[in-house]
Chain A
Amino acid sequence: METPEGIETRPETGDFSGLNRTGIMSNRSLSAELIEGAEETLPNPDGDASELAASRAEYVQDALPIGSLPTPVSNSEAEDKEPLVQQGLALLLDKLGERLAFERQGTRLYEAFVQKLETTRFGETAGPSIEEARHICEEELEHFKLLQTAISEIGGDATVQTPSADIAGVLSHGIMQIVSDPRSTMPQMLQALLTAELADNEGWQLLEQLLKEAGQSELAQQCQSAIEQEKEHLENVRAWLTDVSLTELKEMTGEFSSEAEENVSLSAPRADQHAEQAEEEPSDALSLLKADHERVKELFDRAEKADEKQQKKLFKEIKKELERHTRIEESVFYPNLEKREELKEMMLESLEEHKQIKTLLREIEKLRGESEKFEPKLKLLRENVSHHAEEEEEGKMFPKIRRLLSASELKEMAAELETAKGKGRKKQR
């Protein structure tokens, strides 16, 4: 049966380009009719929106509160205080309750995010590693537990849904929707998480201020560590979102593509030198190294599914990638880390892992012709690389580096890494 005229069919699965139908330009003749009709027709009734304001005002006057502040429960600290102090406590409990709800939601939010990251769809994109996301999740959980204890300590019931906690729930609803929707892309999820982190940071800072003002110095002190951690979360999420968004932009405008290495047939010829010069600004050093890891992982993935001939070919690429990657790490990255006492030991461990990887590479290369050892050694190589990249670097080293190095140091390092890379890098034809 024929498709009705003028309607484009949507592909069943996979990507769809430019089919957003929500704007008036999607169907100009229909839109022209719509617009003209609206222009030529009188509103009903006459007037303006001022009556609306009056109706709403009535409801505001008559409104009852969303709910009541929690009353301090047991324990002597609360009970023999003056009513005003009790009220002050109730207000603090309301805010503490808000933080508790937020952190509890936050834990679930990051759990959902981690689950998404674990699906293959996100294996290839820039952004946080699973470990980095888990790290935030763990800290949200710690904050939740901290708050449970704090609330009990000052005489509150930590299971109460305070009015501010209720509001927090309403506000966060959309964030969870986005993160849990299977259709959300990485930048979309990060956008949602950024909103959460911004609110989170402000929430803790305000709480700390209120606690200090109320003379609760011990609790205020406890806020400090949460504030430090939240600051880091925010910086990370912001950096990931920026990184991912810039990557997306560059991929779409064709300025650089991680797959555009010489043995991919689809590269379009570069028009001019300006395009090459304008090749991407160095992003963060850690994102750059992480992108390398992803690239190698993808090659290993492909090798796993490939036939013998393809496997040998893919191994060549893997070897090339790993050699370059270890070279730039050793020439740029590790010397920078060696300067810091806290990072030296980790760096030395990584160096040893590099040696092991290089040894394996040599062994596999010698194997040509003896196919039965090839696959097991390739598997071992994969495990070593995976352990090194994901657990050691992304899991332990990178988070620590983020804490110790400034954003500009990391940017500078990225530039150096790019230069070191570029020396071996082939230009697109």
Chain B
Amino acid sequence: MSLDLLNEKGVPLDHQQFTWRDLVRTPTSKLDDDAFTRVRIILMNGIESEALRFQHACARMNKELQLALARVRRVEQHQQTMVNWLLPADLSPLETTIGFEQVAIEVTASVAQHEPDPYLAQVFRFGLLEDFDHMYRYTALMDRMMGGDANNILQSYTDILPGRPTAVEHRAPEDDLRRCYDRKKAQPITKLNAMTIMAGEHQTHDYYMTIGPMFADPIARQLYAEIASIEEQHVTQYESIIDPEETWLEKWLLHEAAEIYNYYSCFRSETNPAVKSIWERFVDYELGHLHYVGEIFQKHEKRDLAELLPAALPEPIEYKSHREFVRKTLAAEVDLRARGTEFIHKDEEGADSPSMLYREQMNSDGSPSDSVAAGYRWKPGGELAETTPDIEQMRRQVA
């Protein structure tokens, strides 16, 4: 059961209306809603943020498209609001950060497993292990700085373990760029994957840059400074796997397709009925956008939509724990580094390679991610907790 992109028309653009009351709804519950509901909200906020970013960039370079872009963008803006405002006020910036990293881990893991291009799948796995490590560092911060337990947010879906250490993720720019897919040969899912993960990382970067200075603790400020820098590297990496030969209109069309794909994936897996109805509404809105843009595309480029878009949407993103896959990847690939567009083993990274030199420079006053998590091991209830649960008993209770 999938969505027929070419024939489902959705809701026409000029019927896509809101009120302020409509936009600002009862938020989800930090305590009671499933963690994946939060994951979906955070991701879709990122997807819409990317829609706006792209549509602004496109407007800077295409006078004749400015009005069409402004019209669609106006709706994207309000969609983003409705989605993002589903997060509740008692979710602190640090807790939200944990949520962001859970998105990066679980969504990238899903994407990596379904990516048909082996090189690109490797790129996704490479980034995955880095975001995975960020989770470990932020968890340590939350525990040691304010006595919080990150698992209250993660709900046991995602592991809290060191990944590829953040301190070694710092690379020279030339080692962040990757090879891109070929727009003419790549499968639709590849293009959707690239856009999705790029959007997620860009949003994450912007978020950390915004909240970093809101922390009083200098270690927290340093940690956010360090990890935000990695997220910028990730944006560079994922941006580079997208074929720059795609035309503006082609990109715009693919954006709308990616939005449909993501809202549809959310709709398929959502367990909160109120949130699910939002996903459903926005699938229809994005279909409306797709066809609005599709007409412009066909007129300007004299190409058929079917050339670019798949007849049916690929398999949706899997919103579930990908623990096994992450652990497997961790065991096999934690020691990978990058040289240019390729991946190498850490032993091959020369002492005077650009990345090593850069890394040494940045870490020369110490590494916040190392200090924060030195000796840190997550336990239920946090590092200070004395009682450890009986795992065997827990397993027996389930059986």
Chains A and B form a bound pair: yes
Interface mask (B31-42 → A, CB under 8 Å = 1, otherwise 0): 111110000000
Q: Which of A1-52 contact B (CB under 8 A)?
A: 1, 3-4, 7-13, 16, 19-39, 41-52
Q: Binding site of B, secondary structure by majority: helix, strand, loop or mixed?
A: loop
Interface mask (B122-157 → A, CB under 8 Å = 1, otherwise 0): 000000000001001000000010000001110111
Chain B residues touching A, range: 35 or more
Q: How many residues of A contact B (CB 8 A)?
A: 51
Choose one: B31, B218, B271; the contact of A22 (CB below 8 Å). B31
With A9-B273, A10-B272, A31-B394 in contact, is A55–B371 under 8 Å at CB?
yes
Choose one: B30, B152, B161, B380; the contact of A41 (CB below 8 Å). B161
Residues in B neighbouring A32, C-beta threshold 8 A: 391, 394-395, 398
B395 adjacent to A38 (CB under 8 Å): no
A47 adjacent to B156 (CB under 8 Å): no
Q: Which stretch from B184-192, B292-300, B320-328, B348-356 is at the chain A interface?
A: B320-328
Residues in B neighbouring A8, C-beta threshold 8 A: 271
A7 adjacent to B34 (CB under 8 Å): yes
Within the complex, what minimum Cβ distance (angstroms) separates B216 from chain A? 9
B375 adjacent to A38 (CB under 8 Å): no
Q: Binding site of A, secondary structure by majority: helix, strand, loop or mixed?
A: loop
B398 adjacent to A28 (CB under 8 Å): yes
Choose one: B160, B273, B320, B374; the contact of A4 (CB below 8 Å). B320
A38 adjacent to B155 (CB under 8 Å): no
Residues in B neighbouring A177, C-beta threshold 8 A: 89-90
Decide yes or no whether B268 CB sits under 8 A from chain A: yes
Decide yes or no whether B397 CB sits under 8 A from chain A: yes
B374 adjacent to A37 (CB under 8 Å): no
Decide yes or no whether A276 CB sits under 8 A from chain B: no
B161 adjacent to A35 (CB under 8 Å): no
Residues in A neighbouring B394, C-beta threshold 8 A: 24-25, 28-29, 31-32
Decide yes or no whether B305 CB sits under 8 A from chain A: no
Residues in B neighbouring A55, C-beta threshold 8 A: 218-219, 222, 366, 368, 371
B271 adjacent to A52 (CB under 8 Å): no
Interface mask (B356-389 → A, CB under 8 Å = 1, otherwise 0): 0000000000101011111111111000000011
Decide yes or no whether B274 CB sits under 8 A from chain A: yes
Decide yes or no whether A309 CB sits under 8 A from chain B: no
B271 adjacent to A44 (CB under 8 Å): no
Decide yes or no whether B99 CB sits under 8 A from chain A: no
Choose one: A9, A24, A43, A50; the contact of B156 (CB below 8 Å). A24
Decide yes or no whether A181 CB sits under 8 A from chain B: yes
Closest chain B residue, CB of each to CB of A20: B31
Residues in A neighbouring B368, C-beta threshold 8 A: 55
Choose one: A10, A19, A33, A39; the contact of B323 (CB below 8 Å). A33
Closest chain B residue, CB of each to CB of A50: B374
Choose one: A35, A44, A49, A52; the contact of B380 (CB below 8 Å). A35
Decide yes or no whether A427 CB sits under 8 A from chain B: no
Residues in B neighbouring A35, C-beta threshold 8 A: 379-380, 388-389, 391
Closest chain A residue, CB of each to CB of B326: A37
A43 adjacent to B375 (CB under 8 Å): yes
B380 adjacent to A24 (CB under 8 Å): yes
Closest chain B residue, CB of each to CB of A31: B156
B156 adjacent to A30 (CB under 8 Å): yes
Within the complex, what minimum Cβ distance (angstroms) separates A36 from chain B? 6
Residues in B neighbouring A38, C-beta threshold 8 A: 159-161, 377-379
Closest chain B residue, CB of each to CB of A51: B371
- In the A-B complex, the 4 residue pairs with the smallest Cβ-Cβ separation, listed nearest first, are A47-B374, A44-B162, A30-B156, A59-B218
> 13 A-B contacts, Cβ less than 8 Å apart?
A12-B274, A16-B32, A22-B30, A22-B152, A26-B155, A30-B321, A30-B323, A35-B389, A36-B391, A38-B377, A43-B162, A49-B144, A56-B219
Q: What would 20 more interface pairs be, CB under 8 Å, given A10-B272, A24-B151?
A: A1-B268, A4-B271, A10-B273, A20-B31, A21-B31, A21-B155, A23-B152, A28-B395, A28-B398, A30-B323, A31-B156, A32-B395, A33-B156, A38-B161, A41-B161, A43-B373, A44-B162, A47-B375, A51-B374, A55-B219
